[in-house]
Structure 1
Amino acid sequence: MVIVEDEKPILELMKVLIGRNPHYSIIGAFTNPQEALTAILELKPDLTFLDVEMPKMNGLELAQRINDMMEQTRIIFTTAYKEYALDAFKVYAFDYILKPVTPAAIERITSRLLKLEQVTEPNVIKTRQSVIRCFGSLEVRNPEGSLVRWPTKKTEELFAYFLCHPGQDINKWYLADMLWPDMLEDRASHNLHNTIYRLKKLLKEQEIGMDILKTNDGYMIDTLGSMYDLLEF
């Protein structure tokens, strides 16, 4: 694994914390994201810990470059700001740690990685529960273990946004502008209505165990007690 952190004291602390865990082997540690990218392409690590706030090339940009060239490398972001969670999801981050990095946070990541290696398709089917994973790209499986296919890309994007803002009343015009920024208001509103309908229909038919509720000015997701990795984070 490789660590990229522009603040030297934090980098040294992470090397100590991660190095204590027998499941990891640190093969590179960098303060310069440009140098890190060159090394990562050569080292081909299974895992990278990336700081989000870095000069010249931030962690999100670095992650996108890594994704473009090496899909097998899992990315974990470290940052002091929780609002980066949605951006981390967009670049297929495996997970996200808020600073200060602690042994408990490293242990949580380790547990996720180990569970991922142990999960098999029969295990998913036996649980008879839907499975939703946000980090590492959105993956939704119904209680039968089958991967949910989205009727449109906008339906998937809307569901992902709701998952990142559970229980929040989101204004319909904000959603319409986010999904169709260059479209006239009436047309965007019509598209949003249809996309909400498709999403509610899919959640019901696939027995996902969630619902989209209409509010006075918009919509919100009701997770109905369902858990997924972003909520656990």
Structure 2
Amino acid sequence: MTAPRIIALRGLPDEDQARRLRRDLPDAEWHRIARLRRPQDRLRSLLGRALARRLLAQYLGLAPAQVPLMVGPHGKPLLAAKPGTAPAWHFSIAHSGDQVLAAFGPQALGVDVETCPVQVDNALFRLTTGRDPHPVEITGDDDRAGRKTGMPAPDAQAFCAEWVCREAVLKACGLGLLIEPGRLRLQPGGQGWHQVTEPPETSGQHVRLLWASPVHCAALCLPAPQDDWQLTRLDLDAWLNGLDAAS
């Protein structure tokens, strides 16, 4: 089985680079991106689509702009296939801050990358993970025993690492916003993989972190654990200058 290939780029295109990347997209796709209100959102979307199209074009023997893409039932972008057949290749795109990520492989997959928040409140933690932060005993002058039960702010990096895993699962299943991330139940396994046990729409998927840092976290979801996936991390300039020849 062909291993999934993942390219992670750091940096957003300048005006000249954006013009180059637009040639990788059909006009209709660029016009949809151009309607995004924030300039950085437009640049991230442009780069993600161009990156995915270049990965697919290499295997299909087409120019990137000629790769036939479609939108799935819940908004997931897919490679178009003949009626009644599954796509020969699958891809997933994610972006956050100055990070753009695209994954490509022969089976349905999902990736996510997120910028770690400065602070995580309990409501967001509960919505994303489906549980409350663990209470701890903290010193308090208003308690005769000198202690009281409190809810400290959750660790931002640990929260972000869990967040990207759950989002990668939902993207792999093409569920978008139909299921809250907190409904997912993840069972730890070997080699860093977690198996999804609930809800039924996601059961059987496997997810693991690609990396975790105080700044960004990223995750990959596959139908089964696979440890020969290939991750390449590059600066945008290096990728555009062809240092990653396989892309």
TM-score w.r.t. length of structure 2: 0.29
- Richer in helix (by share): 1
- Richer in strand (by share): 2
Higher relative contact order (CA 8 A, sep 6+): 2
